């Protein structure tokens, strides 16, 4: 793992549904994740809460845990504003905020935010240039930058290795983790986010796992095909199992260890439930007993 920046630990929680929690529930969920011993609390920015404001809420509700804005939309604010916000949070909560940049989607960039969507690597590279040059950016140093990129394809992973602390990969099989480590090299941070459905046995989690895998397909078809998963849209059992860890806590823990063995430095768990507006604290607690938190 690359040096510098907040410490993540081995396992964290990806609060993918956090925009649906009321503010009081969001703070309570953050405190619970910290109390359970997880190393980091991750969230994404889409069309819900603004990322830097949400990070401040989470940091204020906790004392030790790293808060990672894992998918901060580059179209949501200019690079000078991002640099200033990151510096503000770093000063207020030293060593606890991690910024992850995301290239967004055309619909979000154009229809929601009113920008012209640009090719992903071109847009991210330009944003990194502006972030590095921002007058309110981080102080100069000899180590790698403190931010990372949300990345799936090899090109974005290589850009992460070239320009940032590393990458976070969301919703991909263990085979992809091995390729991501090779693309990043040995000295960059590789965090992966594992989609999971927790239940007493696989017969009861198979249906929700298939629905979760289907929702993940649009940005991953070509990558999954390249990994040897043919007829991706058919969503066969092998493909669903590769994308979504499901079953009891032991099964999900085994998948975490597989990612770590494949080269991941950190694994965050995106637990999908039937009640996305309710923080799954009980399930997080159940998983914590099986994991190296």
Distance in angstroms (rounded) separating the CA atoms of residues 39 and 172: 21
Confidence (pLDDT) at 142: 43
* Rounded (10°) angle between helices 154-163 and 120-133: 10
121 occurs within a structural domain:
yes
CATH number at residue 263: 3.20.20.30
Confidence (pLDDT) at 145: 63
Predicted TM-score (pTM) of the model is 0.94
Q: Computed over its alpha carbons, how large is the radius of gyration of the chain?
A: 18
> Do 264 and 190 meet the contact criterion of CB atoms below 8 Å apart?
yes
**Coil, helix or strand at residue 4:** coil
Distance in angstroms (rounded) separating the CA atoms of residues 146 and 166: 9
**Looking at per-residue confidence, does 267 or 3 come out higher?**
267
Range list of β-strands (E), the chain: 11-14, 40-44, 66-73, 97-102, 148-150, 166-170, 189-198, 244-247, 266-271
Tell me the average pLDDT of the chain: 93
Encoding tokens for residue 195?
């989609």
> Which range of residues forms the domain containing residue 276?
11-206+245-288
Distance in angstroms (rounded) separating the CA atoms of residues 60 and 65: 11
84 occurs within a structural domain:
yes
Confidence (pLDDT) at 168: 98
pLDDT per position as a tens digit, 189-227: 999 999 999 999 999 999 999 999 999 998 899 999 999
Encoding tokens for residue 205?
């989690």
Within 10 angstroms of residue 74's Cβ, the number of other Cβ atoms is 25
> Do 259 and 171 meet the contact criterion of CB atoms below 8 Å apart?
no
pLDDT per position as a tens digit, 150-198: 999 999 999 999 999 999 999 999 999 999 999 999 999 999 999 999 9
44 occurs within a structural domain:
yes
Confidence (pLDDT) at 2: 45
Query: Could you tell me what percent of the chain has a pLDDT over 90?
Result: 84
25 occurs within a structural domain:
yes
Encoding tokens for residue 25?
């529930």
**Looking at per-residue confidence, does 31 or 2 come out higher?**
31
260 occurs within a structural domain:
yes
Confidence (pLDDT) at 185: 97
**Coil, helix or strand at residue 205:** helix
In this prediction, residues 111-120 reach a mean pLDDT of 87
Sorting pLDDT into bands at 50, 70 and 90, what band is 143? very low
**Coil, helix or strand at residue 14:** strand
Confidence (pLDDT) at 47: 77
4 occurs within a structural domain:
no
97 occurs within a structural domain:
yes
Distance in angstroms (rounded) separating the CA atoms of residues 268 and 283: 14
Dihedral class, residue 187 (left if φ above 0, else alpha if ψ from -120 to 50, else beta): alpha
Of the candidates 248, 227, 104, the one whose C-alpha atom is nearest the C-alpha of residue 176 is: 227
Helix, strand, coil in percent for the chain, rounding step 5: 45, 15, 35
Q: How many domains does the chain have?
A: 1
Confidence (pLDDT) at 265: 98
Encoding tokens for residue 146?
């403190």
CB-based contacts of 110, cutoff 8 Å, min separation 6: 116, 117
> Do 160 and 191 meet the contact criterion of CB atoms below 8 Å apart?
no
Which range among 104-113, 115-124, 212-221, 246-255 shows the weakest confidence by mean pLDDT? 104-113
* Rounded (10°) angle between helices 249-261 and 174-184: 30
CB-based contacts of 222, cutoff 8 Å, min separation 6: none
Q: Is the pLDDT of residue 136 over 80?
A: no
5 occurs within a structural domain:
no
Confidence (pLDDT) at 5: 78
Q: Is the pLDDT of residue 115 over 90?
A: no
Confidence (pLDDT) at 138: 52
């Amino acid at each position: 793992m690359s040096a510098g920046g907040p410490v993540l630990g081995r396992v964290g929680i990806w609060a993918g549904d956090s925009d649906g929690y009321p503010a009081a529930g969001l703070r309570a969920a953050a405190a619970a994740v910290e109390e359970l011993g997880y190393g980091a609390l991750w969230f994404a920015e889409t069309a819900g809460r603004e990322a830097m404001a949400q990070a401040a809420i989470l940091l204020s509700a906790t004392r030790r845990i790293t808060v990672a804005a894992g998918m901060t939309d580059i179209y949501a604010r200019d690079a000078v504003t991002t640099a200033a916000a990151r510096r503000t949070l770093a000063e207020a909560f030293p060593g606890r905020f991690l910024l992850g940049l995301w290239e967004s989607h055309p619909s979000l960039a154009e229809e929601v935010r009113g920008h012209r969507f640009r090719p992903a690597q071109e847009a991210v590279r330009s944003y990194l240039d502006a972030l590095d040059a921002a007058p309110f950016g981080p102080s100069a140093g000899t180590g790698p930058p403190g931010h990372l990129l949300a990345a799936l394809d090899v090109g974005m992973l290589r850009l992460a290795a070239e320009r940032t602390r590393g990458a976070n990969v969301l919703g991909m099989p263990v085979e992809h983790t091995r390729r991501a480590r090779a693309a990043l090299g040995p000295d960059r941070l590789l965090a992966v986010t594992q989609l999971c459905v927790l239940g007493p046995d696989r017969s009861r989690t198979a249906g929700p796992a298939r629905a979760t895998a289907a929702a993940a397909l649009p940005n991953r078809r070509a990558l999954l095909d390249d990994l040897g998963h043919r007829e991706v849209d058919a969503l066969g059992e092998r493909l669903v199992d590769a994308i979504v860890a499901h079953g009891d806590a032991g099964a999900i823990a085994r998948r975490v260890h597989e990612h770590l063995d494949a080269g991941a430095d950190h694994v965050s768990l995106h637990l999908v439930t039937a009640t996305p507006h309710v923080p799954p604290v009980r399930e997080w607690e159940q998983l914590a007993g099986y994991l190296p938190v």
